[in-house]
Amino acid sequence: MVAPVRVIPTAAKRASSLLRTIQYTHPPSCPCHSNPGHHHSAPGIVPRPRDAPRRYAIPTSVEVQKEYAFEMAASAIRFGPGVTQEVGMDLKNMGAKKVCVVTDSTVDKLDAMRQVREALAAEGIHFSVYSNVTIEPKDSSIKDAIAWARPYEADAYLAVGGGSVMDTAKLMNLYAAYPDADFLDFVNAPLGKGRPVDKPLKPLIAVPTTAGTGSETTGTAIFDLVSKRAKTGVAHRNMKPTLGICDPLNTRTMPAAVKASSGLDVLCHSLESWTAIPYNERTPRPANPIMRPAYQGANPISDIFSFHALRSTVKYLPRAVKDPDDFEAQSEMLFAATMAGVGFGNAGVHLCHGMSYPISGQNPGYKHEGYEVSVPIIPHGVSVAVSAPAVFRFTGASNPERHLQAAEAFGVDISNVKRESAGEVLAEALTKFLADLGDQPKGLKELGFGPEHIDALVEGTIPQARVLMFAPGLSKELEAERDQLRRLFEDAMTH
């Protein structure tokens, strides 16, 4: 099923209304969303040997039924300039008496944290601040945060920062609720054990200070698993924030490089969820609705959020990067990030993100300009966007209409474009957008990768079954998949 796209006047207001409707009908506490099998193999699936064909989406039954339904879930969202000051009242309304505030050392000095401290103090709420979150966190920094959280025994969590902060807070909340769990217990299979989150966690409020990850809407937390030289994470609906407080005043202090990288994450979230396999092509159909995953494939509701986010990002990201005083652009990018979060949080992402995890995890020494860190870093948004032209050139044949509609969102006149050229046209539009944005690597070569790295990058991508299953056109036979990924990385070396 491919839903038609309807460009709605005053889309931001109507999208906000739709989000509120979804939150009313499917609040975070909905019992259907406990989903212990979420993101993991279906019943009857056993881990495959290294050289065996991929079977993560095929049940042992000979008769494979495709999905026939989709489901929608998202965190409650409050959006508006100045809403940060309400967080103390929110926590008091939740009955919180001992709050763990999670941030990083930079945000800890900014106005967002000043407002948070004042709001909590005004309501007489006891809190302690954990400010040692690192950008693009590694498993070691996540473990340090968990070790701090477990004995603190908070009855609520408050994350103030970017995606790294929000993801760290989710994992602190998770592992504090399971004091005897080993770290790999909940990490996505096959890198971890993929244990389901089978009980509710403490309330978590997320206050994003960057406009990119959409982590305030999702139950996903990502980090570097250093021993495997790959990014991975934990994903479950029970990890979703209870409330996302999206205050455009908090994103004004983002450096231009951070705005660009964060915005490119929004761009890829929206494009990947828009072009993911349709929900009714996913197999197997769950035997029980509790087994229906959060990442379901493109569906008529996620399409609305994803396509709105795409159009907004194309329009406002260049303005936000170039003019720090363009408050309209900054606000629209924060809204686009949240919209994309709802879209991909229900549809899923695919190849750009699957390939990005080894790209950042196997960094040969690249340090992105504009990031004030002492160690090499490929920001997440850079790692996903660098392969985007190659990815959408590859996926174009799967659904030419969607790729052409995406190209049109970039301003391309598609009236005379042939269907078979859809992927190439979108790839060219992305290449031009990245070049015009400025300060972006023109392929993996400029990150320091060469042909000698391709096999390792491929092997680092293959375990990302959780997202690769939504990649249109990607083979489920392992050696064929390896060949396709190898060609994709070769194509992504330059653009």
Q: Does 287 lie in the same domain as 211?
A: no
Kindly tell me if the per-residue pLDDT of 71 is higher than 50.
yes
- Tokens representing residue 105 in the block: 């050392």
pLDDT at 167 over 50: yes
> 36 or 438: whose pLDDT is higher?
438
pLDDT(37) > 80: no
Between CA 365 and CA 245 the distance in angstroms is: 36
Q: What is the pLDDT of residue 14?
A: 54
Q: Dig out the tokens for 374 from the structure.
A: 């002492």
Domain annotation covers residue 1:
no
CATH number of residue 117's parent domain: 3.40.50.1970
The model's pLDDT over 84-106, given as tens digits with 9 standing for 90+, comes to: 999 999 999 999 999 999 999 99
> Are 152 and 289 part of one and the same domain?
no
**pLDDT at site 33:** 34
d(CA 339, CA 317): 15
Q: Are residues 273 and 405 in the same domain?
A: yes
Q: Quick one: 311 and 440 in the same domain?
A: yes
Residue 242 has pLDDT above 70, yes or no: yes
Q: How far is CA 238 from CA 94, 180, 340, in A?
A: 17, 19, 20
pLDDT value, residue 214:
95
Question: In this predicted structure, what is the pLDDT of residue 189?
Answer: 84
Do residues 377 and 480 both lie within one domain?
A: yes
Q: What is the pLDDT of residues 178-233, one digit of tens each?
A: 999 999 999 988 889 989 898 999 999 999 999 999 999 999 999 989 888 778 89
Whether 237 and 267 share a structural domain: no
Q: Whole-model pTM?
A: 0.85
The confidence band for 16, taking pLDDT boundaries of 50, 70 and 90, is low
Task: Extract the tokens encoding 434.
Answer: 């990245």
Of 4-18, 73-87, 148-162, 440-454, the one with minimum mean pLDDT is 4-18
**CATH code of residue 424:** 1.20.1090.10
DSSP string, 75-112: -EEEESTTGGGGHHHHHHHTT-SEEEEEEETTGGGSHH
Of 205, 220, 246, which closes a domain?
246
| 262, 130: one domain | no
Give the domain-ending residue among 221, 246, 271.
246
**In the 8-state DSSP scheme, what is residue 255?**
-
- Give the list of residues 6+ apart from residue 341 with CB closer than 8 angstroms, or none: 74, 213, 214, 215, 216, 217, 218, 269
pLDDT the model gives residue 448 = 97
Kindly list the strands in the beta sheet with 76-79, ordered across the sheet, starting from the edge strand earlier in the chain: 76-79, 243-246, 204-208, 156-161, 98-104, 126-133
d(CA 112, CA 120): 12
Both 207 and 340 in one domain: the answer is no
- Res 133: pLDDT: 97
Is the Cα dihedral 234, 141, 252, 113 positive or negative?
positive
Least confident of 107-111, 149-153, 333-337, 372-376: 372-376
Q: What does the DSSP 8-state code read for residue 414? A: -
Looking at the structure, do residues 395 and 277 belong to the same domain, yes or no?
yes
Q: Give me the number of domains the chain comprises.
A: 2
Last residue of a domain, one of 246, 277, 298: 246
Give the range of the structural domain holding residue 445, as residue numbers without chain letter: 256-492
User: 396 is written with which tokens?
Assistant: 């174009």
Cα torsion at 87, 92, 96, 99 (round to 10°)? 30
Instruction: Give pLDDT tens digits for 385-435.
Output: 999 999 999 999 999 999 999 999 999 999 999 999 999 999 999 999 999
Q: Are residues 313 and 387 in the same domain?
A: yes
pLDDT class of 292 with cuts at 50, 70, 90 = confident
Residue 317 and residue 428 in one domain = yes
Whether residues 238 and 326 fall in one domain? no
For residue 10, name the pLDDT band (cuts at 50, 70, 90).
low
pLDDT for the residue numbered 184? 96
Average the pLDDT over 302-329 and give the result.
97
